[in-house]
Amino acid sequence: MMQFTYYGHACFAVETGGQTLLFDPFITLNPLAKSIDASKVRADVILVSHGHNDHLADAVAIAQRTGAPVVAPYEVGNWLENQGIDNVQSINPGGTPEFKFGRVKMTAAIHSSSLPDGSYGGNPTGFLVMTNEGNFYYAGDTALTYDMKLVREWTKLDFAVLPIGGYFTMGIDDAIRAADFVGATKIIGVHYDTFPPIQIDHDEAQGRARQAGKELLLLKIGETIEL
């Protein structure tokens, strides 16, 4: 069993093997996440998919407070080191660092990546997490891409965390197709509602997923579920 907590936008935590993995911390600047206190959020490992501020605005503060290692694309990792974070694993797609809870493979994403100061963020990425308690894939900000078919060749998934808001990433229809590509029936939707261009109709999105034989989970901000 893994515990999944949603912190809004594309920020979430997964607890597995007694460790808390925190993804794409963006809380204090999220107008929908006022109920979450970023200074209380737990992390044993922090994973940042790319350099956009809506994925790392709280990364420096949480990394400093927790001392948790940060896994990030190479250029994003260098930027974090320049912000004073020591414990950074700057990798690139294909890299698969090992931790107490299991392994994390950095995957390709079709998107862009620049840091808050406008500097080059390298390639945007996603993460495939493989543990003793189960496996999941977080696509990061991305369009649908055939590269996702590799995920089902690498491992069998328990769930996939996919952007569904459209505009900056794939929308619900391509996310459903992405779930097919990676071999997941359970989708946790992220990257929707936060800003006007990515506001979606929840019932419609869940209906489309159901029609395609998928389960689309849209969690309340602050909600925790077992998977």
Q: Which positions lie near Ni ion, rule CB under 5 A? A: 52, 141
The DSSP call for residue 219 is: P
Q: Please, what is the minimum distance in Å from the beta carbon of residue 191 to Ni ion?
A: 8
N- to C-terminal Cα distance for the chain? Answer: 6
75 versus 141: smaller Cβ distance to Mn ion:
141
Task: Kindly report the length of the chain.
Answer: 227
**From the list Ni ion, Mn ion, none, partner contacted by residue 105 (C-beta under 5 to 8 A by kind):** none
**From the list Mn ion, Ni ion, none, partner contacted by residue 24 (C-beta under 5 to 8 A by kind):** none
Q: Please, what is the minimum distance in Å from the beta carbon of residue 52 to Ni ion?
A: 4
2 versus 47: smaller Cβ distance to Mn ion:
47
Q: Please, what is the minimum distance in Å from the beta carbon of residue 213 to Mn ion?
A: 28
Instruction: List residues binding Mn ion (CB under 5 A).
Output: 52, 54, 141
CA pair distance 153, 165, nearest whole angstrom: 27
**From the list Ni ion, Mn ion, none, partner contacted by residue 208 (C-beta under 5 to 8 A by kind):** none
44 versus 54: smaller Cβ distance to Mn ion:
54
Q: Please, what is the minimum distance in Å from the beta carbon of residue 52 to Mn ion?
A: 5
To 10 degrees, what angle do helices 59-66 and 74-82 make? 70
Looking up tokens 């950095």, which residue turns up? 106
Question: 218, 206 in Cβ contact below 8 A?
Answer: yes
Helix extents (H) in 125-201: 149-154, 172-182
Question: 60, 83 in Cβ contact below 8 A?
Answer: yes
9 versus 52: smaller Cβ distance to Ni ion:
52
The DSSP call for residue 59 is: H
75 versus 141: smaller Cβ distance to Ni ion:
141
